């Protein structure tokens, strides 16, 4: 079956850099997306990788390697407000169907 695996929890301190990994067992997808979800709020889109390589958006960067079936989200200059859950996701080619990862809860400590 198709699946995207993420670490369940990551902890880091303010100002640090943290990497959240996403390894997948799926084929034929358009690209890898990342979403942020604060408790009590709506998940929001962060980043998208259509091609292999690094995409940078401010403090957030995302990376994709299709040959390694692997991607990651990199958060720099961590702030307390970055404490949230982060999900990777793909949309299977030729369908409207999205597959989400298991989610990583990031805790940022003062």
Partner 1 sequence: DVKVTQSSRYLVKRTGEKVFLECVQDMDHENMFWYRQDPGLGLRLIYFSYDVKMKEKGDIPEGYSVSREKKERFSLILESASTNQTSMYLCASSLGTGARETQYFGPGTRLLVL
**Residue 3 backbone zone (phi > 0: left; psi -120 to 50: alpha; other: beta):** beta
Determine if 102 is a binding residue for partner 1 (CB under 8 A).
yes
Q: Which of 12, 26, 31, 107 binds partner 1 (CB under 8 A)?
A: 31
Determine if 70 is a binding residue for partner 1 (CB under 8 A).
no
Rg (CA), the chain: 13
Determine if 35 is a binding residue for partner 1 (CB under 8 A).
yes
- Nearest CB to partner 1, comparing residues 37 and 69: 37
84: which 2 tokens?
């949230």
- Nearest CB to partner 1, comparing residues 57 and 98: 98
In three-state secondary structure terms, 80 is helix
């Amino acid at each position: 079956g198709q699946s995207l695996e993420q670490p369940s929890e990551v902890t880091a301190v303010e100002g640090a850099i943290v990497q959240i990994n996403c390894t997948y067992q799926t084929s034929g997808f358009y690209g890898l997306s990342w979403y942020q979800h604060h408790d009590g709020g709506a998940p929001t889109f962060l980043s998208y990788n259509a091609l292999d390589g690094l995409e940078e958006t401010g403090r957030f960067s995302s990376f994709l390697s299709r040959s390694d079936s692997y991607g990651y989200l990199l958060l720099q200059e961590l702030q307390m407000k970055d404490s949230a859950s982060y999900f990777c996701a793909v949309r299977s080619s030729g369908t409207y169907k999205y597959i989400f990862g298991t989610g990583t809860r990031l805790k940022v400590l003062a």
